[in-house]
Amino acid sequence: MSPAIVFQIHLVLGYVPWLLAFGAYMWPRLKSMDRTDAHRAIATLHSFRFFGLVFIVPGVVGANLPTDFATFAAYGDFATGLLAMLALLTVRRRALFWPLVVAFNLVGAVDILVDYYHGNQLGLPALAGELGATYAIPIIYVPLLMITHVAAFYLLARQQGSAMSAPVPQT
């Protein structure tokens, strides 16, 4: 089997155990939590995305890793991590917290989708060995990140819908 096919299998199958674990353990807990606490939990996970800067560290990744992929992936993760940290730091100031929750989820989800697109366009599956020590990031870490972005958007939409459909007090 070629390295490209192994990498693509890894990318797809990386979602399976996370979806199973998320559905069984994480999703029921997030749905039962206070909305702020649920988004804080998701932001805490994403605050570690500063680690994505490793994609631009020579010696950690191979010299032939496409620069276009590595740079965008690194800084997209870094921006998402900083926004998640800012959200966590502003949890007591709701007027700042909620826009930062939306921002880190938008930036983070777009980062992952664009990275998938760039990786495919640049032939990353055939160059998967150039990921070096970062190989585990798209296989193990990114699926959980994407799943939690989708969950966050669902929770945000559900909360927005609940607020909009709340009965108007009669005076």
User: So where are the chain's domains?
Assistant: 34-54+64-156
Q: How far apart are CA 8 and CA 124, in angstroms?
A: 10
Looking at the chain, list the stretches that DSSP marks H as alpha helix, in order from N- to C-terminal side.
3-13, 15-21, 27-32, 35-46, 67-89, 94-121, 136, 142-164
What confidence tens digit (pLDDT) does each residue in 145-167 have?
999 999 999 999 987 655 544 45
What confidence tens digit (pLDDT) does each residue in 45-79 have?
999 999 999 999 999 999 999 999 999 999 999 99
The type of residue at 6 is V
The 8-class DSSP code of residue 60 comes to T
